[in-house]
Every structure is written in structure tokens, then in C-alpha cells.
Amino acid sequence: MSEHFDLVVIGAGSGGLAAAKRAASYGARVAIVEGDRVGGTCVIRGCVPKKLMVYGSAVRHQLDDAASYGWSVGAVSHDSSDLLRRVRAEVDRLNQLHIGFLEKAGVELVRGWGRFADERTISVLSPQGEERRRLQAERILIAVGGRPHRPNIPGAELGWVSDDMFELERLPERVVVVGAGFIACEFAGILNGLGVQVTQLVRGDHLLRGFDLEAGRAVQEAMQADGIDIRLTHSPSAIEGSPGDLTVISQSGERFGCNGVLLATGRRPFLEGLNLEAAGVAREGHRIPVDAAQGTNVPHIYAVGDVTDRINLTPVAIDEGRALADTIWGHKPRQVDHNLVASAVFSQPELSGVGLTEEQAIERFGADGVKVHRARFRPMSQALPARDPKVLLKLVVESASSKVVGCHMVGEHAAEIIQMAAIAIGMGATKADFDRTMALHPTVAEEFVTMPN
């Protein structure tokens, strides 16, 4: 016999949790189906454990700089197994915390993998594929997120994906990182900071496609200066060997020996096993297309977050989930604005940006319709150690209106700083508005309001 709910959510990640709790707060009867731990990619195998490892790896730079400030540190060592254990313990704590939040909100957590039986019924399966329960719903939300994608090359199964990195018992001596995106760059920095010899294979001619090109190049220069061997225009054709003793063969025939390979080659929506056909839900390639109200082609079925493959960021998924609940059960219709979303790469150094890149602005307004203001300098934090990397700050301005249409930064605390800049740009601030703002000295961020015209 099927149980009836106002809302059944498939997937207890950021978007699904946000929608479920918000809908329940309006009085809806809600169930959320999850076959893995509660928290989704961000909490379990993404943003949170990754950022903890970034912090751990950054200690090396602090130790290197200590003598410049009069500290005598002496001999130090690092135990990667201890760091990984502590990271996993924190993830476990957050998993239990989110389970408690669901209980407090009055949302029923249903353990198992959700699969459409028909357009209003979700079959909940055990890991062995046996049906445990059937849930009927007035409305259904698909919030299953994405999964790492392995390249179609011989030996790809020998490599790790990003999920695997947090389950390692300890880090090896040499790792080849394949990819040029934010996951590849972040893990290359983490591994390098923790003493691993890193070679990064990049298919194209630059890192971080989609981010400001100049900012991406600044990150690349800093990574190379810090000892990461970045090989541009190098694609792997095969992986050979056995775990712990691998060789990556590039398409040009070059061989790279290592103890592990991280395949950071993108992510795709996790549609396997959903049986979308039973509900008549349309798919577009690897994603579920939705309208501005998160609706699929089936009127009572919705999708939020990475499964829609629009802007795959945790805060976006959360706002999409809450907007859906506010609209339907809160009777406060609203839609998420995807036009101005700040983003960051927790590489070393950090990269962040909001609005148009220089390249996007030129494409939209023409080369003569854009003026770029920039500052590049060694920050005060590196004055005594006398080392790079230099920071980069950029304002991209539409000439006709003098509006700042893009703001980008590479350097320490870039993500923290860009969050506040996003407010100003969202309100339509002009270059004159930035200039009128009194500088806070001595800071890196003051350069955003002191750049000459």
C-alpha cells in the first residue's frame, strides 16, 4: 500500500533539504528519500571536506613564512592519515546534524533509492534493488545532484574521482591530476600543499574555462611557481598499471608515472535509476530541463540543483528549493535570479568573481564599450616573506553607463571579499560609486575603491 504525501523529495542534498524543510514549515506533509548519507555533495564529498583540506594544506605556507616574522618553528612533519580521519569525522558530525534538522522540521527521512513507478508514485529501493516502500505525492521534487564523470579511456577505472579523495587512508607521494576546472585546480593545490608531487594534465591551453581569462592565468602562474607541474594541451589516452603504481599515457605518447590519478574531468546529473520514463519526465542530454519556476514538462514534478545542470552551486540549489516551497505552500511566489551569481575557486591562491568576465563584457558591449581597471601587486602579508604570488583585482566597466558589470580577484580571502562586491554590482553600482567609497587601509580590498580612472 502506498503512503500519501504533499511532497516527496528524491535526494537529501542542499536543494532537496532546503525545499523539504521550507515546505514542512508551511504545513505540508513531506518525505525525503535518500540512499546515501544526508547532506549531499557539498557536505559529504564536496565543499565542506574540500575546504577543510584547503585549510590544512595552507598551513605549509604559514610555516614557510614563520621565520620572516621572528618565529623559530623547528622540524615539522605532517600526517595525512590524521587529517583525512579528522575531515571524515567532521563530515559524519554534519551528516547527523542534518538528520536532526529534518526530524525537527517534521520531514520524514525515507532510507533507500527513489525511483519513479509512475508520475505520482515513488518506489523506494534497497541497495540490492528490492522495493521497501511506495510513496504517493501531490508533488514530486527531483534533487539528486550530480556525480563525477570518468573519461572514456582505457584504464579509467584505475583512477580516482573527487569522491574517492576523502576516503583515502593516506596521501601518496606522486599524483597526476587530470583536468583544468575548479575541482582539478583545488585538489592540485591541496595535494601540493600537503607534500605530494603533482603533475596536472590540461586538455586546453589554459586553466579554469568560464572564469575571467586573466584571473585564470594568474592562478596558473602561482600554481606553477609553487611547484605544480602543469602540462597544457596534454590529454590522457590511457592509464596503465595497478593501484599504487600507475602510468598515465598522454595522446602524444608521453608517460607520467605516479602512485595515483585523480580524474577531475567534470560532473554530470545523476539520472541513472530514476526511471524518468515511467513519469514522462523529459530529459535533455544528461540533464532535466526546467522552467523559471523549477517545473519539468510534467506539471506536478519539479527539479532543482545540479540535476538541472544550470549553475551548479550549493547556494543556488538551496534558493531554488526554498523558492519552490515559498511559491507553492507559502503562497509567496518568487523565482530565483540566475543572472548574477558570485563564484569562487578555492585554489591556492583563491580566485573569485561576480558578473561578466572581461571576455564576456567585450562580447556583449564590444571592445570599445568596455573599460577594465586592474591592480596587481604583492600584498602586505607577503612583504616580510618577500614572496609571491601577487594579488590581482579587476573591475570590468560598461563605458556607456559607467556601471561595474564584473568584479574579479585572485588572492588571499578573494571569496570573502567578492561576496560584498556582489551586493554593490547587484544594485547597479557605477565606477564612481566605487570611487566614492572610503578605503579601509591597509587592506587588499581597498584597491577596489582606489583604482584610477
- The rounded distance, in Å, linking the Cα atoms of 392 and 140 is 45
Is beta strand 404-410 parallel, antiparallel or unpaired with respect to 108-111?
A: unpaired
Identify whether the C-beta of residue 256 lies closer than 8 Å to the C-beta of residue 199. Answer: yes
Which residue type is seen at 175? V
* Exposure of 178 in the CB half-sphere (CA atoms within 13 A): 30
| H-helix or E-strand spanning residue 228 | none
- The rounded distance, in Å, linking the Cα atoms of 302 and 281 is 9
Which residue type is seen at 451? M
User: At which residue does the C-alpha cell 574521482 appear?
Assistant: 161
Buried-state track 137-175, b at ≥16 Cβ within 10 A, e below 16: bebbbbbbbbbbeebebebbebbbbbeebbeeeebbeeb
| H-helix or E-strand spanning residue 149 | none
Identify whether the C-beta of residue 403 lies closer than 8 Å to the C-beta of residue 397. Answer: yes
User: At which residue does the C-alpha cell 540549489 appear?
Assistant: 317
Identify whether the C-beta of residue 31 lies closer than 8 Å to the C-beta of residue 8. Answer: yes
Which residue type is seen at 207? L
- 31 DSSP β-pair partners: 8, 108
Which residue type is seen at 206? H
- The rounded distance, in Å, linking the Cα atoms of 46 and 429 is 33
SS3 250: strand
Identify whether 349 is preceded by a cis peptide bond (ω within 30 of 0).
yes
Would you please indicate which residues are annotated as catalytic (active-site) residues? 441
